[in-house]
Amino acid sequence: MKKHLNTLYVTTQGAYLSKEGETVVVKIEGEIRLRIPIHTLRGIVCFGNVSCSPFLMGFCAKNDVAISFLSEHGRFLAKVQGPVSGNVLLRREQYRRADDLVFSAEVAKSILTGKIANSRAVLQRALRDHADKINEGEMRTAVLRLNRQLDLLKQDFSLDTLRGIEGDSAHIYFNVFDHLIVAQKDRFSFLERNRRPPLDNVNCLLSFIYTLLMHDVRSALEAVGLDPAVGFLHRDRPGRPGLALDVMEEFRPYIADRLTLSLINLQQVQGKGFKSVETGAVTMDDEARKIVLVAYQERKQEEITHPFLGEKIKVGMLFHVQAQLMARYLRGDLDGYPPFIWK
């Protein structure tokens, strides 16, 4: 089994990353703050005004460590990586299959089954753990409605119809999402999902963690030789990583949404870490961002039994496992794509 490696997140503005022997060195105002061996890293993510030496970029590319550059608030800007790995025949098969709308609909059904089942599991866990603090009636109704959405996926539908089912399911789920917040209600309330930009503290957290999730899923797909830009549920659009968005769907509820709720309900983040700017967008300050990054890394270190493989793996390895399963399906080694379903 592939070893789970760490991601180095650099958020301090003005930081400079360079190569020293076999290590990555992080300097702030000319002072060395961190040395980390290259063999322990899977990727480096730089937020805002963070720069890297050309020698480090080449060193990372040679060692299959991708460097991603994001805005200070988490918007993807660019990525530096070495030669694309994997068999070109796999990518050619991916492109052929993506042009087949019937095949694409089958993959989309599997992906949506995972997403909706995991959304339902989040609500069911809340009913189990916080029944005395939430609107139990509305929550149980939402669970039943998501059950009906899952039943619909047992039928054959076009991609457009499947996207409609996805939209309806998201509406059901997010319509009760505010009930899952049981602490700090004065600073963390959820009315509806909004993004680009997020307009409240909860959406700010969700969008930021979705960005982290996207980075990891995209890297996992590239590592097994798939093209993250060509998806099945999410169709081709310039600049959009369609397949990464596809595979990411089943992880949104299980990893991102649950982490958001934990950070709020356990009061690991607080309202003072967020601010609204003139445009109405809500952003996190550096301290809050660091808390989220640490919590995300810790969550990836947790272990879970994979429902399809039956093996214990770290949560951070789920992205790579699902990318491998997608590749095996496209090669014809599996009869279908088995989505990750949290149990």
Which CATH superfamily is 88-331 part of? Answer: CRISPR-associated endonuclease Cas1, C-terminal domain (1.20.120.920)
pLDDT in tens, 75-116: 778 888 777 666 788 999 999 999 999 999 999 999 999 999
Contact 248, 214 (CB under 8 A): yes
pLDDT at 121 over 70: yes
Residue extents of the structural domains in the chain = 6-80, 88-331
Structure-model confidence comparison of residues 332 and 3, the more confident one: 332
Architecture of domain 6-80: Ribosomal Protein L15; Chain: K; domain 2 (3.100)
The predicted pLDDT at position 108 comes to 95
The predicted pLDDT at position 84 comes to 66
pLDDT in tens, 257-274: 999 999 999 999 998 988
pLDDT in tens, 141-195: 999 999 999 999 999 999 999 999 999 999 999 999 999 998 888 889 888 888 7
Structure-model confidence comparison of residues 40 and 105, the more confident one: 105
pLDDT averaged over the chain?
A: 89
The predicted pLDDT at position 4 comes to 59
Q: How far apart are CA 113 and CA 76, in angstroms?
A: 28
pLDDT in tens, 213-233: 998 898 889 888 899 999 999
64: left (phi over 0), alpha (psi -120 to 50) or beta: left
Buried b (16+ CB within 10 A) or exposed e, 280-293: ebbbbeeebbebbb
Confidence grade of residue 209 (pLDDT, cut at 50, 70, 90)? very high
Confidence grade of residue 1 (pLDDT, cut at 50, 70, 90)? very low
Percent of the chain with pLDDT over 70: 97
Q: How far apart are CA 205 and CA 268, in angstroms?
A: 12
